Copies of this chain bind each other. A is one copy, B any other.
Amino acid sequence: MNIGEAASASGVSAKMIRYYEQSGLIPKAGRTTAGYRDYSTTDVHMLRFVRRSRDLGFSMAEIEELLQLWRDRSRQSADVKRIALARIADLRRRIQEMEDMAATLEHLASCCSGDNRPDCPILADLEQGEVAKPRRSRGAIDAAP
């Protein structure tokens, strides 16, 4: 199976497959005599694994760890659970930060008349306001298509 077929079978774009290979997340694919990458159904399983992990917001480093565990028949499920719980904690923390932002903005917006006059509590706050600096955390969902 060539990279295009593997891509549509796994839901990972060909671009991304090459990128994952190049960055060492997945092993180098075998090549046909013509130099095309060649994939097995096991490889497609692995790619689906990666995609699902990304969809759940795991970082590359975490996915690397998860892939190792996935391949390791003598793994301990506790190791997997630990990574998942860490991810959940991270999500919860980031959700809280965003909730705080949303609440602040909602408060400001509710104080703003939103008419054709220039007086605006939102701008006033931006100019003056202090924030308990939320120390930024890792690996997010960003960059619209």
Contacts and interface: CB of A to CB of B under 8 A. Distances in A.
Contacts of A140: 140-142
Interface string A96-137: 011101101110110011111111101101111111011111
A80 interface: yes
A119 B77 contact: yes
Interface in A31-80: 45, 48-49, 52-53, 55-57, 66, 69-70, 72-78, 80
Q: How many copies does the complex hold?
A: 2
A78 to B, nearest CB: 5
B134 A145 contact: no
Given A76-B118, A136-B145, A140-B141, 9 more contacts: A56-B126, A76-B117, A77-B114, A81-B122, A84-B105, A84-B108, A91-B101, A91-B105, A137-B144
Interface of A: 45, 48-49, 52-53, 55-57, 66, 69-70, 72-78, 80-82, 84-85, 87-88, 91-92, 94-95, 97-99, 101-102, 104-106, 108-109, 112-120, 122-123, 125-131, 133-145
